[in-house]
Amino acid sequence: MLKSILLGIGILLVSSTSSCGSGTSTSTSTTTSRPSYNTGVGFFIGTDNKLYDANGVAFTIKGVNRVHYDDSSGTVIPKTKSNAERWRLYWGNGTTVPQFVAQFTNENYNNSTVAIPGIWNTAAAYGGVKVTCDTTTGTLTHAVDEWVGQAADWKPIEKWSIINIANEWGPANSTVWRDSYITAISRMRAAGYLGTLLIDAGGCGEDAADIINYGQAVFNSDPQKNILFSIHIYYNVQAGNAAIYLSALAATKLPIIVGEFGPGRKIGPAPTNLTPGELIAAANANNMGWIAWAWDDNDLSGGLSDDNWFALAYNPGIYNSSSDLTTFGKDVVENATYGIKNTAVAASIFR
């Protein structure tokens, strides 16, 4: 009787068994109905501004970024239990979208992982321009041209993917960021992309003001109301400030994730002493998903890494024990309190 009543108001309690790290947990999930204005078949933003999968089960992203599609990361990232993998698309060796779709299917779908492809550089046929940290409107137009031109090829993975339109494009705290993305969303929807679109903040992905001041206008412009925003955390947040910074973003009530963050320890060209643990705790407290940068961001020859850069693994194709992970990787993947292995839950569409 209770189930019938809940179904009548669009809410259903379902039991699901999911693998979390080395253990298995059985949980009861609440499902919500897809809003009437959302006509897609994949992920959607509910009227409560939370991210839901195609079954209407709330989904919290906890995953890794991947820099190289053509390394052996795909054989071992599933061992981390990441529930999402954000891919840097680039067009070497004559790679085509159908090849990417086949790879995503094999390495993501078959391992219960949401694929999040994004454009860092456009293909030669679409200007061959660098998108990352660019602020010119023409560059975003080229990126959208590419998505529009490839729309039919990406359609097969709509149910289990999220499209990241342009990595770290746009000026900081700017109506140009707002208006350009409003146009981009309109074009993406007209081309048939009905799933969740991920939009990075401007200022190389690190400008919270774009989202705080203009995010609502961007979200409201979408007839599907299916926009997820992404903030990247590097030198823009120092130790002790993560909770305040993310709380200000959460106060917008917009759907937001931390799309990139690094190891801290004053490493890299944009140094911060913010620890991954502090950042993850703040993201969790504000109900934000997160994606670590990056599994295979190597700093040594042969695709290998050490503890002086941003990789999670020393060798992207090897993960058999903790000793195969960098200090950053051990923390993000294996931490008993907040690590991916112990907290990430796969989207219900894969169960």
CATH homologous superfamily of domain 60-346? Glycosidases (3.20.20.80)
- Of 310, 281, 278, the C-alpha closest to 296 is 310
Tokens of 111: 């391992």
> Which residues, in sequence order, are bridge partners of residue 121?
130
Local structure of 337: helix, strand or coil: coil
Question: Model confidence over 47-96: pLDDT tens digits?
Answer: 999 999 999 999 999 999 999 999 999 999 999 999 999 999 987 667 89
- Of 117, 93, 92, the C-alpha closest to 107 is 117
Question: Model confidence over 281-320: pLDDT tens digits?
Answer: 999 999 999 999 999 999 999 999 999 999 999 999 999 9
Question: Model confidence over 112-146: pLDDT tens digits?
Answer: 999 999 999 999 999 999 999 999 999 999 999 99
Q: Distance (Å, rounded) from C-alpha 8 to C-alpha 23?
A: 35
For the chain, the domains span 60-346
Q: Distance (Å, rounded) from C-alpha 320 to C-alpha 208?
A: 38
Question: Are the beta carbons of 57 and 348 closer than 8 angstroms?
Answer: yes
What is the pTM assigned to this prediction?
0.92
